[in-house]
Amino acid sequence: MNFASKLVQKVKDRFVQHKLKPYQDKLKAIHEIRLEGWDDGKLQAESDKLKAKARSGAALDDLLAEAFAVAGEAASRVLGMRPFDVQYLAGAALHEGNMVEMQTGEGKTLAAVMPAYLNALTGKGVHVLTFNDYLAGRDAQWMGPVYRFLGLSVGFVKEDMTAEERRQAYAADITYVTAKQAGFDYLRDTIAMKESDIVHRPFHYAIVDEADSLLIDEARVPLVIAGEVASSGGDGGRMAKLAKELRLGEDYDFDENKRNVYLTEAGSEKAEAILRTGNLYEARNSHLLTALNCALHAESLLKKDVDYVIRDGRLEIIDPHTGRVAQNRHWPDGLQAAVEAKEGIASGTSGKILGNITLQHFLSLYAKICGMTATAQDSADEFEETYGLGVVEIPPNRPRIRIDHDSRIYTHKEAKLKALVKEIADVHATGRPILIGTSSVEESDQLAAELEKANVPCHVLNAKNDEKEAEIIAKAGELGAVTVSTNMAGRGVDIRLGGGEPEQARQVAELGGLYVIGTHMNESARIDNQLRGRAGRQGDPGSSRFYVCLEDELINRFGIEKAIPASYRTAKQDEELSASIFSKKTDHIQRVVMGQNFELRKTLNKYSDMVEEQRRIHQERREAVLYDEDGMSAAEKHIRLYLMDKAWSDHLAYVSYIREGIHLESLANRNPVDEFHHRIIHAFELIPDKLEQETAKALAKLSASGGADAADWEKQGYKPPSRTWTYLIQDQFMEKKTNIFSF
């Protein structure tokens, strides 16, 4: 380190220390409480006392030191892990609702136990939101004995659980669950016809693990609940046929970014003639225009076996980030139907959307949230602005000695691949374990094939199974292991040197520890750092290096190769380029992209925030009916709930219809966001009166027919959907569309 960077480091360290100061004081107070000499019974009685205090209204802040000391002592007795000081510090920062940055392998799972315990003393329930179902089960089982020793209950939720099992898990003092599962359960609760169907309690405190992934990368993913309704046929088949007849380049074309299609004048005329509708751009035809656009998009921008696969007669989307089949995902309504029509398969989704919520909005239902991850600092502004979460950086328990090498940069892909294979083969020959992060399944298969040719056996991670994935990743630190994985694979899994076997661990450490290689630069520095962080856990040796080439997608997209002196971008060459010019540029690109994505998310929030506000108003009104005990008959309650749900579902359909066409408003020189707000506010305002009229009519009809039991309601048509299902929406197209029109 030269003088200047030493100085920068010193200033940075001092800043970190400054932010930690209040927590250091708490740490001192925790250490002053000596519990080692107490027997188990006394410790447990102390926990009961704390519980009684919290439930009779004592401020949790005042109980913090004692509760943390008690939980720490319990952890060391039950798990054989005495929390490190950094874990107490992290725990205190989590309790205060911060975003805690703590490196991989530093023990975030145990750090979360202290604030979870403290906040669960109130009896109001704490959720630890894990990265996937597998980790929910693992962490609940791992940490469960500590809570139970202290007289609290623990539960976890998995995909295939029944409603009753879920209700029990949420009734526990501490529940380990993914945000998606919790969110889906919430959506089901919002359409419950009986109080006893509800599985959640009011949302109290959530600790979000791998928080950047959820709060930033996935924050805008809408969770959806849909229900069965009679199919209306739709325009899908007709439009798919028309889209095949229109010619790319003549009748329709792409925008420059290949994100959208649009009809040319010739195309519009042709379509109008075939559809016999008159002017497609008149308001009365806007559903046709939207459907045709979706069909053209499906026809020309979405490719089978690249963007989606058809399996067992069903459409499955491939996640553009991981290259794997994304479980339980749909494209937005119109587009999904258009692709299904294009492929001539039965629509698996022709249900009606009954409710939806983005993960971000779902999280805001909790009275208090906090998060932890190894990579928070790079997105500190966004955490602060979007969630009001300050980032607190926790220093490592033992100093980090991982070496992050400069990237190696090549002119073209073949040169990069050749260099990668050589590097991996050379290092593998020494026995040192290597973990390689690639961008897609395709890339990982290609690399694995090349490695095989070079006689380097490797594990390729394309299992969709979290459990198996965790097992393979956990072994990535063994002598001679070469593991090729996709980006995000195995977040949350601990890679121990030598697989945790002491003699092997020593050998691997002598070889330099785990070597992490990235085969491309990611959009966000966070993701790069997440990958690097797989090496060098708990002060282990380790190193990381990224391989980049001028043909990489990210570099291309931002035209960085143009920003590079002509002499460097002339011919293809096998040797690496001198790195110093590029590393600054690549950092710059990442910062620009992260900034742009942040702005984009803000713009998109302008659309969804308003609908969410309406949803909450609607939900409050609905709860007033559901929980009404002083007056309403069972028949009236049922009818009111039924009609309210229908009104909301209709409203959502209207919102999405407006949303799909709203970007056209900017062509008419109107601000699309304002126009959108204007229309949906108006539509929402009409709901209450309409509902009152419908309810009165329905009740009159029922009383006229004499009956008022369930069979009568259903006979009269007031029948809730017989089957509901939940899924996530893959919304990158709408995002891109909005993007274009809002900058």
Q: Which stretch binds Mg ion (CB under 5 A): 81-89, 105-113, 402-410, 626-634?
A: 105-113
With respect to ligand ADP, which residue has the nearer C-beta, 499 or 512?
499
Question: From CA 65, how far away is CA 629, in angstroms rounded?
Answer: 43
Contact (CB, 8 A) for 491 and 210: yes
Query: CB under 5 to 8 A by kind: which of ligand ADP, Mg ion, none does 436 bind?
Result: none
Judged by CB under 5 A, how many residues of this single chain contact Mg ion?
2
DSSP letter for each residue of 385-408? HHH-PPEEEPPPSS----EEPPPE
Q: Which stretch binds Mg ion (CB under 5 A): 9-17, 254-262, 490-498, 657-665?
A: 490-498
User: What is the residue type of 743?
Assistant: F
498 scored as a contact of Mg ion (CB under 5 A): no
Question: From CA 15, how far away is CA 613, in angstroms rounded?
Answer: 38
492 scored as a contact of Mg ion (CB under 5 A): yes
Q: How far is the CB of 148 from ligand ADP (least distance, A)?
A: 19
With respect to ligand ADP, which residue has the nearer C-beta, 394 or 702?
394
**What sections of 285-433 are H helices per DSSP?**
286-300, 333-342, 359-363, 380-387, 413-429
Q: How far is the CB of 271 from ligand ADP (least distance, A)?
A: 55
Residues 6+ apart with CB under 8 A from 207: 94, 112, 115, 116, 126, 127, 128, 129, 369, 370, 371, 372
Query: CB under 5 to 8 A by kind: which of ligand ADP, Mg ion, none does 105 bind?
Result: ligand ADP
Tokens standing for 633? 């008959």
Q: Which stretch binds Mg ion (CB under 5 A): 102-110, 283-291, 515-523, 647-655?
A: 102-110
Question: From CA 296, how far away is CA 240, in angstroms rounded?
Answer: 8
Residue nearest to ligand ADP (CB): 107
Q: How far is the CB of 365 from Mg ion (least distance, A)?
A: 24
Q: How far is the CB of 210 from Mg ion (least distance, A)?
A: 7
Q: How far is the CB of 107 from ligand ADP (least distance, A)?
A: 3
Kindly calculate the radius of gyration of the chain based on its CA atoms and give it in whole angstroms: 28
Query: CB under 5 to 8 A by kind: which of Mg ion, ligand ADP, none does 130 bind?
Result: none
With respect to ligand ADP, which residue has the nearer C-beta, 127 or 491?
491
Query: CB under 5 to 8 A by kind: which of Mg ion, ligand ADP, none does 84 bind?
Result: ligand ADP
With respect to Mg ion, which residue has the nearer C-beta, 89 or 680?
89
- In total, the chain counts a number of residues equal to 743
Q: How far is the CB of 412 from ligand ADP (least distance, A)?
A: 37
With respect to ligand ADP, which residue has the nearer C-beta, 142 or 254?
142
Q: How far is the CB of 173 from Mg ion (least distance, A)?
A: 21
Question: From CA 24, how far away is CA 587, in angstroms rounded?
Answer: 34
With respect to ligand ADP, which residue has the nearer C-beta, 108 or 342?
108
155 scored as a contact of Mg ion (CB under 5 A): no
Query: CB under 5 to 8 A by kind: which of Mg ion, ligand ADP, none does 494 bind?
Result: ligand ADP
371 scored as a contact of Mg ion (CB under 5 A): no
Contact (CB, 8 A) for 222 and 731: yes
Residue nearest to Mg ion (CB): 492
Strand partners, 263: 252
The Cβ of residue 728 has, within 10 Å, a number of other Cβ atoms equal to 21
Among candidate residues 471, 530, 538, 479, the one with its CA nearest the CA of residue 504: 479
Q: How far is the CB of 303 from ligand ADP (least distance, A)?
A: 37
With respect to Mg ion, which residue has the nearer C-beta, 102 or 298?
102
**What sections of 454-579 are H helices per DSSP?**
466-474, 502-511, 525-532, 553-557
Q: Which stretch binds Mg ion (CB under 5 A): 170-178, 455-463, 485-493, 599-607?
A: 485-493
The binding site for ligand ADP (CB under 6 A) comprises 81-84, 87, 102, 104-110, 494
Question: From CA 678, how far away is CA 505, in angstroms rounded?
Answer: 63
Contact (CB, 8 A) for 122 and 57: no
| Residue 533 Cα distances to 101, 132, 219, 518, angstroms | 12, 19, 23, 12
Question: From CA 645, how far away is CA 622, in angstroms rounded?
Answer: 8
Contact (CB, 8 A) for 520 and 556: no
With respect to ligand ADP, which residue has the nearer C-beta, 108 or 640?
108
CA angle 128, 620, 672 (to 5 degrees): 90
108 scored as a contact of Mg ion (CB under 5 A): yes
Q: How far is the CB of 112 from Mg ion (least distance, A)?
A: 9
Binding site for Mg ion (CB under 5 A): 108, 492
